[in-house]
Structure 1
Amino acid sequence: MLRTERHARILEHVSAKGSVDVNELARLLAVSGATVRRDLQYLSDRKLLQRTHGGAVIGGISIEVPIQRRMERRRPEKQAIARAAAELVPPGAVVGLTGGTTTTEVARLLVGRGPVTIVTNAVNIAAEVVLHKGVTLVVIGGDARSESYELVGPIAEKTLADYHTDITFLGVDGISATHGCTTHDQLEAATDRAFVRSSGGIVVVADQSKIGKVTFAKICPLRDIQHLITDAGAPGDQLAAIADAGVTVTAV
């Protein structure tokens, strides 16, 4: 397992449980206690968690794991989600893509599906598709967020108000029947809402770790989205509740 993947799993685990100990993490990651302690110290030095005697705590806060640490997490599931998402895009469509690891996988598939226009605020997605023939790329400006590689804020929102996309794939940090779609950052949430307003259809692409989860900033209620694509490991009761709210749910 790559160090970046270990760090992502540690942060997700401690965020979900509130506190963990070294032995627990060593079993989870199948590594030595010494490796876990080095990982915890690395993450503590970057203020992503707080070290304790024999473990770490997060104080019950749902934290944002930087995107570079999430890239390899559940990648097969994200790729399966992306394949289902790409099937929804006809040649010649104008496609909105917000930032995220799963939307990045969608972008990688769209470049091989014939002519398409991609409108995105994610600089990593722009770098992935800019050299591909058949892709017309529109990058939304704004203030850069290093955690998500996204451009956000008033400039992004104003620009999106002048566009219309046929379909937008929305990355979220949480989606639930009670709180709708949420993310960690309020500026990112506002920019995501601008994508929602400018699109003819919203498809949320989210792996099982996002289902039933609620984070800090609300993007939109479930009534603003039409489709959720997730993986087969997502909790069935949460998916049923989302479907009952009128959202088409696909678990791949």
Structure 2
Amino acid sequence: MRAERLNAVLDHIAQHGSVDVVHLSNRLGVSGATVRRDLRALHDQGLLVRTHGGAMANNVGLELPIRYKASHHHPEKRRIGLEAAKLVQDGSVVGMTGGTTATEVARALADRQNITVVTNALNIATELVLRPNIRLLVTGGKARHASYELVGPTAEALVAEYHFDITFVGVDGLTVAEGCTTHDDTEAHTDLAFIRQSRRNVVIADSSKIGKVTFARICDISAVNDLVTDKDIDPAELTALRRAGVAVTTA
């Protein structure tokens, strides 16, 4: 399907920085003309730069918009969301940053009673706004098109007024040495605002994010209480995280 091809193209460029039409045609099992149409569509959306015979990333550390991330590792993210939601007790105030895995947590919490959710993610707010059983607060801030998150000083000022029993943090990378990282520095500051106001911080990330470091640091590993991930996590990373004091749950 076309959406799967576009995801595959963006994944390859995110990992390698560039790609050529012949390679993609062989890898995806489609004609060169189809690949060229896909590359032009992504170029027109500003997600890559067309070159003679292929394409290249248009920035360092390509960040995929959330509409493309949604289908990546979806079964794993769904399981992570269901498992993470079990950590929320009745009456809790829940902080929630953005991301596709956080969206799965929100969906798992949608039928819960007597909880308050504070989020800076527009798509998560959309998931929960019609649920009268959930008290929902949404921050202001500058909207990021890639993640649908509201970020910056306005968001951080509101978050600083609240205290959370538990916060779910989506990340683009997590290691013991570098802690939690993401692609955008402003988003990292807003995520940190949530973490500072929370008694328990839970990173939710599929295993492809573990052992990876991206552009901007959110927090040190010492600020992370729990990690909920999938069973494909690298055993060495799992051991290192547990030794660092992180309670790791695999779903």
* TM-score computed with the length of structure 1 as normaliser: 0.93
Q: Structure 2 vs 1, CA of residues 30 and 86 (structure 1 numbering), >3 Å: closer, same or farther? A: farther
- The residue correspondences of 1:34-183 to structure 2 (distance < 5 A) are 34-58=33-57, 61-183=60-182
Measured after TM superposition, the shift of residue 142 of structure 1 is 1.0
Maintained 8 Å contact 2:226/2:247: yes
Q: How far apart, in 2, do the equivalents of 1:30 and 1:70 lie?
A: 22
Maintained 8 Å contact 2:47/2:58: no
Q: Which amino acid aligns with 1:64?
A: E
Q: Which amino acid aligns with 1:115?
A: N
Q: How far apart, in 2, do the equivalents of 1:160 and 1:145 lie?
A: 17
Q: Structure 2 vs 1, CA of residues 142 and 41 (structure 1 numbering), >3 Å: closer, same or farther? A: same
Structure 2 gaps of 5+ residues are none
C-alpha offsets along residues 190-238 of structure 1, whole Å, 9 cap, x if unaligned? 0000000011111111112211111111100110011111112232322
Maintained 8 Å contact 1:9/1:73: no
C-alpha offsets along residues 1-57 of structure 1, whole Å, 9 cap, x if unaligned? 3x3343233212211122333343344444443322211122223332233343323
Q: How far apart, in 2, do the equivalents of 1:31 and 1:114 lie?
A: 49
Maintained 8 Å contact 2:80/2:101: yes
Q: Structure 2 vs 1, CA of residues 247 and 26 (structure 1 numbering), >3 Å: closer, same or farther? A: farther
Q: Higher mean Cα deviation, 164-173 or 24-33? A: 24-33
Structure 1 gaps of 5+ residues are none
Maintained 8 Å contact 1:143/1:152: yes
Q: How far apart, in 1, do the equivalents of 2:138 and 2:223 lie?
A: 23
Question: Matched residue of 2:228: which SS?
Answer: strand
Q: Which amino acid aligns with 2:216?
A: A
Q: Which amino acid aligns with 1:142?
A: G
C-alpha offsets along residues 51-90 of structure 1, whole Å, 9 cap, x if unaligned? 3343323378311111111112211110011011011111
Maintained 8 Å contact 1:18/1:60: no
Give me the CA root mean square deviation.
1.8
Q: Structure 2 vs 1, CA of residues 35 and 208 (structure 1 numbering), >3 Å: closer, same or farther? A: farther
Question: Matched residue of 2:217: which SS?
Answer: strand
Question: Matched residue of 1:228: which SS?
Answer: strand
Question: Matched residue of 1:56: which SS?
Answer: strand
* TM-score computed with the length of structure 2 as normaliser: 0.93
Maintained 8 Å contact 2:170/2:203: yes
Q: Which amino acid aligns with 2:3?
A: T
Q: Higher mean Cα deviation, 35-44 or 159-168? A: 35-44
Q: Which amino acid aligns with 2:186?
A: L
- The residue correspondences of 1:164-203 to structure 2 (distance < 5 A) are 164-203=163-202
Q: How far apart, in 2, do the equivalents of 1:250 and 1:27 lie?
A: 38
Size of the aligned set, in residue pairs, is: 251
Q: Structure 2 vs 1, CA of residues 196 and 37 (structure 1 numbering), >3 Å: closer, same or farther? A: same
